[in-house]
Each structure stands twice: as structure tokens, then as C-alpha cells.
Amino acid sequence: MFKSGTGYTRLGVNVDHVATIRQARGGQNPDPVEAAVLAELAGCDGITIHLREDRRHIQDRDLAILKRTAKTRLNLEMAATQDMIKIALDIKPHTVTLVPERREELTTEGGLEVAMNMDYLKKVTSLLIDAEIKVSLFVDPDLDQIKASHRVGANAVEIHTGKYAEAKTKARAEEEYGKIVNAAKVAQKLKLEVIAGHGLDYHNVRAIVEIPEIVEVNIGHSIVSRAVLVGMERAVREMKMAMGGLL
């Protein structure tokens, strides 16, 4: 987790897929709130949840309880809709990460189109920041989107690492990695906090945390998948070890 000369890389744990398992049966277990407690006990630096319009996994109840119980920082991923903005202003998580959202997608498939929606996103960002909520925009490693994020007044960008994580060849992975490096450098120059996430796992995370500008990674599916087999605390500790190059 420590990068030579650049400090500590935070780990945010996304517990959405704990709720996915729960919703498969419509009961109360497993509870993503309990999973968040265990993740924090294991040393994570924040909890991330995505409250989707269709409520396919995380529910309003989860958000409300996590706001009261999370000991680290609560990051709410959400679409920039009026309903979600109202919820965020009521709950006031530490951070709101604005993401694109389509009902038919299995998971978030790409970054937010900031450059084409600057006027609206500037209003949303201003409203949230005025309520003392930190605003991050989930964007592709595209320099135009990074610059647009700065212009709308965001505090941070979370760089979408999906194409890097899913690359089938070494050459493609290196190409996508280069885009992430360049995007992170530009974002830092614009005084945006730089976060990364999507598709990161125990094998590919180390290269991302070695990018000096990246101060945090958000990881969900790979940690929850591992937790099914070994438990949440061990899964989180192993991810922290992987980030430090110890796995």
C-alpha cells in the first residue's frame, strides 16, 4: 500500500455484491452493512456503495445505516438524477461519485460523459459541494473528460480502469495502462484528487497503485468473490497485501 516517495494508497471496498447475493433470495442475508464493518476491521480506508435507480442490490436502508455506522468514509456512487441528488443531500455521505447508469448493464460499463453535459453537471456538482459533500466523477482515462471534470468544479476524478483490467494481450494492457498514467498526471496538474477503479483484482492492482498520482483505489467484485471463500476480513487484508506487492 505504500509507494516509495509518494505516500499511502487508500483502499475503498465496494460492498454492492454482498447485497447482490442477498437480493437473489430477497431476504436479509448476507448484510452489506455487516460486510462493511468487517472490511473496516480489516483496515480498509472507506466503504463504497452504488444506489441504483432499479435498486438491484444496495437498498435505501443500507445507505441510511451505513451513514450512521461507517467508521471510515462513505462513498455513494449514483447517477446524476434529481431523485438521487435529493437522497444524497438528505443522507450527506462523505463523497458522491457521479457515474453513468443504464438499466440493462450488468455493471458500470464506461465513464461519465462530462464534456457533453458540462452545464448540468456543473449545477449538480455545485449543489453537492455547497452541502459539504465531496464530488468525484467516474471518467474514462480520456484527457478531454479529465479537463471537463475540472471545469465543472469536481473535487476528484475516479479513472475507469476497466479496459486495462480486461485487456486480453500484454500490448493492449500496456496501451490502456499508458492512458491511465497520462490521465492521472493531467488530473493532478489540475488539482483534482486521483482515484482509480473498476475491474481491479489481486493480480492487476499493484501496477495501478504504483502510479504516483493515484491516491485511492475502489475495489468490489474481486474482494467480495474472495470473501465468499475465505471471509471478508481475510479478503481485504489480502488485497492490502497485493497493493503492497506482498502477494
- Each of the 247 residues of the chain gets a pLDDT tens digit; together they read 545 444 689 999 999 999 999 999 999 999 999 999 999 999 999 999 999 999 999 999 999 999 999 999 999 999 999 999 999 999 999 999 999 976 554 455 689 999 999 999 999 999 999 999 999 999 999 999 999 999 999 999 999 999 999 999 999 999 999 999 999 999 999 999 999 999 999 999 999 999 999 999 999 999 999 999 999 999 999 999 999 977 6
Pick the closest to residue 205 from 10, 34, 7 (CA basis).
Answer: 10
User: Distance between CA atoms of 111 and 114, rounded to whole angstroms?
Assistant: 9
Q: Name the grid cell of 45.
A: 480506508
Write down the pLDDT at residue 2: 47
Write down the pLDDT at residue 92: 98
**Class for the domain spanning 2-243:** alpha beta
Residues, the chain: 247
Write down the pLDDT at residue 100: 94
Write down the pLDDT at residue 5: 40
Write down the pLDDT at residue 131: 98
Helices 221-230 + 32-41 axis angle, to 10: 90
User: Distance between CA atoms of 210 and 217, rounded to whole angstroms?
Assistant: 11
CB 144 within 8 A of CB 106: no
User: Distance between CA atoms of 158 and 140, rounded to whole angstroms?
Assistant: 8
pTM of the model: 0.93
Write down the pLDDT at residue 6: 47
Active-site annotation, residues: 50, 77, 198
Q: Using only the alpha carbons of the chain, give its radius of gyration.
A: 17
